[in-house]
Amino acid sequence: MIITRSPVRISFGGGGTDMPSFYEKHGGAVVNITINKYFYSFYNPREDGKIQMISSDFQSLLSVDDFYSLKFGEGFDIPSAVIKHFRLYHGFDLFTASEIPPGSGLGSSGAVTVNMVRLCSKLKNETLTQRQIAEDAYFIQREILNLPIGKQDEYAAAFGGLNFIEFSEKDVFVEPIPIDPNVYKRLEKNLLLFFTQKTRQASKILKRQEASIKENDTSVIAAMIEVKKNAYRMKESLEGGDIKRFGSLLDEAWTFKKRMSPDITNEYLDRIYEIAMQNGSLGGKIAGAGGGGYFMFYCEEEKQENLRNAMEAEKLGFLDFNFSEKGVTILNNGNSL
């Protein structure tokens, strides 16, 4: 058996500027960090050439006679696309499971694709760098599956940790953000995630956003430029240990992000955000593309009980987490290979 694990991420700022329609002209920048919530795949070879995939998250099964029988549109598009890309002709069983629900806004699709790329590269005895894993995962989703995605989720899952990532037409630069260990711990304690109980299809939001960019919608582009600038300010505040300013910058980021697409927020999400701000939060944002999933809030410890009680009263589920410094990893009895 081969067990592969990849982390999901929290995007602090710059989300959306990692889309090629934007960064190829204006440049992009994001700040994100991976957390200890993972996507897992469990691989076992078979002797009969059949491929069987089981998804715990979607409670679904796909069984085909051989590699050539794999098709898209049957609920296993990402694994099938990666398997086809790497030409895994032999038979195997694959079981997949995630610690967070799909459509959560925590970059789960990127984590899935990076996971499968790492697994398949090992099976083909190909040594890929973290960058190559991220780029392969992006290519498979963007060019093979035609998903309107950016690159930050793939780079986050491949590299792991707290990173400032810049995107240009020709390259991607991943810069780990140096941060004092005590500041790191305080930041970890002061960030809270709450599940809205509503998942969403990010592709719909991103397609509309990408269309606005291509149509040169000046209001959307102006908002995205401000989101990008905000990411640089976040980086500076973290490097300087000023996490209270970082909390306020999350509020600023949310203000700009909402201008990028009318689908990012709604009356319900706006009300939840306002309640959080009234109960101790300095700032926050909906995770990922928007529309649902997890809300992240920055709240200092002495005010967190009020915030948690307020969110509980609104039926939002609290997610306990820690930061994770490792990207995609192959496990064997709990040890890295």
Residue 318 pLDDT > 50 = yes
* pLDDT score of 330: 95
Residue pLDDT, tens place only, 106-154? 999 999 999 999 999 999 999 999 999 999 999 999 999 999 899 999 9
Residue pLDDT, tens place only, 94-109? 999 999 988 888 999 9
**What pTM was computed for the model?**
0.93
* pLDDT score of 205: 67
User: What's the CATH number for 2-178+324-336?
Assistant: 3.30.230.10
**Catalytic residue check, 66:** no
Residue 43 pLDDT > 70 = yes
Domain extents in the chain: 2-178+324-336, 181-319
Q: What is the mean pLDDT of residues 11-35?
A: 95
Residue 157 pLDDT > 80 = yes
Residue pLDDT, tens place only, 291-302? 778 999 999 999
* pLDDT score of 335: 47
Which residue among the candidates 57, 93, 153, 320 is catalytic per the annotation?
Answer: 153
Residue pLDDT, tens place only, 197-231? 776 566 666 777 777 788 878 888 999 999 999 99
Q: Could you tell me the pLDDT band of residue 290, with boundaries at 50, 70 and 90? A: low
> How is domain 181-319 classified at the architecture level of CATH?
2-Layer Sandwich (3.30)
**Is the pLDDT higher at 262 or at 286?**
286
Q: What is the mean pLDDT of residues 283-290?
A: 82
3-class secondary structure per residue, the chain: CEEEEEEEEEEEECCCCCCHHHHHHHCEEEEEEEEEEEEEEEEEECCCCCEEEEECCCCEEEEECCHHHCCCCCCCHHHHHHHHHHCCCCCEEEEEEECCCCCCCCCHHHHHHHHHHHHHHHHCCCCCCHHHHHHHHHHHHHHHCCCCCCCHHHHHHHHCCEEEEEECCCCEEEEECCCCHHHHHHHHHHEEEEECCCCCCHHHHHHHHHHHHHCCCHHHHHHHHHHHHHHHHHHHHHHCCCHHHHHHHHHHHHHHHCCCCCCCCCHHHHHHHHHHHHCCEEEEEECCCCCCCEEEEEECHHHHHHHHHHHHHCCCEEECCCECCCCCEEEECCEEC
> Which region among 14-23, 176-185, 259-268, 320-329 has the lowest average model confidence (pLDDT)?
259-268
Q: Could you tell me the pLDDT band of residue 334, with boundaries at 50, 70 and 90? A: very low
Instruction: State the average pLDDT for the chain.
Output: 92
